Amino acid sequence: MATPPETDDTFRDPGGFRDVRELRNAHELRDADEFRDAELLRLDQQICFSLNAASRAFGGVYRVLLKGLGLTYPQYLVMLVLWEHGELPVKRIGELLRLDSGTLSPLLKRLEAAGLVHRERSPADERSVTVSLTDAGLALRDRAGQVPRRLLAATSLPVEDLGALRALLDRLTGALDAAVLAAGADG
């Protein structure tokens, strides 16, 4: 069988694999138990570190891009949810963003102080607070439209690659959530 031509996937990793396909094939043949402990404990083998480093790099780019909007990245996420869904209970915003109320409440207070959102207790249930956009919050959406385009340019990756990466990360998140649920059921 002919060796596939070298592509942009070519890299030299510490395990000696030539390209992504070769690494993928090797991992299909041996599972994590077959790795030596020394390999498993290398920083460059930690997916969580790579994800954290990428997240911090994204944070740096977002800090620059959002400065003109007067938003932090977590505030921007809240605004994205409200622009997409409209008025929502705080609990639902937290679910969509995977944030607890202790993290979300101060964000909402700051957005309300900035005049971008309005919080109101539900007359039917005093425990429930609904968040809606103000006119200023709605108007900010137009100015925020350039943020995703500029972020895309900053990655230097094709849209297709970013879509595939997002899909893979969504699968990873689902698998990890399932693992936590299973571990909770066991223990």
Domain CATH number, residue 115:
1.10.10.10
Does some domain include residue 157? Answer: no
Question: What is the number of domains present in the chain?
Answer: 1
Residue 157 has pLDDT above 90, yes or no: yes
Does some domain include residue 116? Answer: yes
How buried is residue 99: exposed, middle or buried, by Cβ count under 10 Å (0-12/13-18/19+)?
Answer: middle
Q: What is the span of the domain harbouring residue 115? A: 70-147
pTM: 0.76
Instruction: Return the minimum-mean-pLDDT range out of 12-16, 17-21, 125-129.
Output: 12-16
Q: β-pairing, 88-89 with 117-121?
A: unpaired
Does some domain include residue 7? Answer: no
Which residue has 């993290």 as its token pair?
Answer: 103
Does some domain include residue 154? Answer: no
The number of residues in the chain equals 187
Residue 24 has pLDDT above 90, yes or no: no
Render pLDDT for 130-141 as a digit per residue (tens, 0 to 9).
999 999 999 999
Q: Using CA atoms, how far apart are residues 89 and 137, in angstroms rounded to an integer?
A: 17
Q: Using CA atoms, how far apart are residues 6 and 176, in angstroms rounded to an integer?
A: 33
Of the pLDDT bands very low, low, confident and very high (cuts 50, 70, 90), residue 20 is: low
Nearest to 75 by CA among 155, 21, 133: 133
Does some domain include residue 23? Answer: no
Instruction: Lay out the sheet containing 129-133: strands in order across.
Output: 88-89, 129-133, 117-121
Nearest to 11 by CA among 25, 26, 22, 3: 22
Which amino acid, residue 101?
Answer: S
pLDDT of residue 124: 82
Residue 175 has pLDDT above 60, yes or no: yes
Does some domain include residue 177? Answer: no
pLDDT of residue 1: 44
Decide: 97 and 81 in contact? Cβ < 8 Å: yes
Q: Using CA atoms, how far apart are residues 106 and 78, in angstroms rounded to an integer?
A: 12
